[in-house]
Amino acid sequence: DNLMKRFGAERVRGFMQWADIPEDQPIQHSWISKSIEQAQERVEAYYFDIRKRVLEYDAVVNKQRQAMYKQRDEILTADPATLREKIHQLVATEIGEFCKTYLVGERDEWDLDEVYRQALTIYPVPPEITPEVLDAQHNAEDIEVLLLKGALQAYDRKTEELGGPENMAQVERQVILQAMDSLWVRHLTDLDVLREGIGLQAIRQRDPLVEYKIEGFRMWQDLQNEIQSTLVRNIFRVEMARRQEQKVSNVREGQQMVDASSVRTNAPTSAPEPTRATNRPGRNDPCWCGSGKKYKHCHYESDQQDRQPVARTQTKSAPPSRRR
């Protein structure tokens, strides 16, 4: 059978060929039974190694899953002051990142326009902060401080617009959890794709599991950075979404009012019956009913039938007979 073909000892195979034993004849011998038992142990060890390897791959995802759930629990249980401090830190980190990217080298090499555009992607920059104002600052640190100050002021205005710190904390939780959940699902899909192709690392004489751990950790760091970037940019757009919802609500209410008025206007009423003209139209004239057809093709025959009894009633009676 397949077990003996894959794991049978060479001496068993040689003995079977030498003895020329028919395939349907049972073989009963102690050392043959022992060889089969050893082959079964090899099979079990082989599949045990496979399961162990699968668990080692799953352990990488499991650690990341536990870390993600821990972060979610911290967001759900955090008070408004803690969330506020976390948002401030993330905003400062995000502003510092693009300032380090575009404010490097000599001052003539700075890309202040791109710095201003990056700031606009995060929060509504006030009119008093312009590329010219940024250029008037003494160094890159002053530019970063100015942009961070404008961001924190925009955050305070957003808090007031939403009704205070408690409402702002609820909005922050929703925005953070939404970003974490959506990006985490995509991250799991990327890990599955990575695992399918990581076995090719064995061709380069590298352990696929070690490479999977290294690449998985790099993807985890990218996930954290993307969550941070998405959160910082969405937290200042909450009011824009609310205004859009209000606009949609107003449009729906207006549409409902229009529909209601149209229903009242277009309510079914009894259609007025066509009035028959007193003067008889000609055969080729339009019919009196308003159908647009010629009279001879429409109500001509029915009118003729209606007139026959009238004509009979209007005929003069015959003179009385003179017979007595």
Torsion sign (Cα): 307, 309, 310, 315:
positive
How confident is the model at residue 256, as a pLDDT? 63
Structure tokens at 171: 């909005």
Signed CA dihedral, 222, 223, 228, 234: sign only:
positive
Q: What is the SS3 assignment for 294?
A: strand
- 102, 105, 251, 268, 274 from 271: Cα distances, Å: 76, 84, 34, 9, 9
pLDDT of residue 310: 41
Question: Residue 319 pLDDT more than 50?
Answer: no
Of 176, 212, 148, which is closest to residue 82 (Cα–Cα)?
176
Q: Give the pLDDT confidence score for residue 304 in this predicted structure.
A: 74
Helix, strand or coil for residue 286?
Answer: strand
Q: Quote the pLDDT of residue 75.
A: 92
pLDDT at 323: 43
pLDDT of residue 68: 94
CA nearest to 162, candidates 86, 94, 83: 83
Quote the CA–CA distance of 86 and 75 in Å, as a whole number. Answer: 10
Which two tokens mark 266? Answer: 């277009």
| Residue-level length of the chain | 324
Average pLDDT over residues 160-176: 89
Continuous H helices in 137-272: 140-161, 165-197, 208-235, 238-265
Of residues 29 and 282, the one with the higher pLDDT is 282
Give me the mean pLDDT over the 266-278 stretch.
51
d(CA 178, CA 322): 113
Dihedral angle computed from the Cα positions of residues 186, 190, 191 and 192, in that order, rounded to the nearest 10 degrees: 100
pLDDT at 322: 42
pLDDT band at 311 (very low <50, low <70, confident <90, very high): very low
Q: For 7-65, how does the pLDDT look when each residue is reduced to its tens digit (9 = 90+)?
A: 555 656 666 666 666 666 666 666 666 766 777 777 777 776 767 777 888 889 999 99
Mean pLDDT (the chain) is 78
Tokens read off for 24: 């349907």
Bridge partners (DSSP) listed for residue 286: 294
> Considering only 112-116, 139-143, 164-168, 259-263, which range has the smallest mean pLDDT?
259-263
Q: What is the mean pLDDT of residues 232-244?
A: 70
- Percent of the chain beyond pLDDT 70? 69
CATH architecture of 43-71+163-237: Orthogonal Bundle (1.10)
Q: Is the pTM of this model over 0.75?
A: no
Q: What are phi and psi of 294, to 5 degrees?
A: -70, 150
Q: Is the pLDDT of residue 268 over 60?
A: no
- pLDDT above 60: residue 264: no
Quickly list DSSP for 33-90.
Answer: HHHHHHHHHHHHHHHHHHHHHHHHHHHHHHHHHHHHHHHHHHHHH--HHHHHHHHHHH
Domain segments of the chain as ranges: 43-71+163-237, 78-161
Question: Is 270's pLDDT higher than 90?
Answer: no
Task: Give the tens place of pLDDT for each residue, 114-149.
Answer: 989 999 999 888 888 888 898 888 888 999 999 999
Residue 246 scores a pLDDT above 60: no
DSSP state of 266: T
Q: What is the pLDDT of residue 181?
A: 93
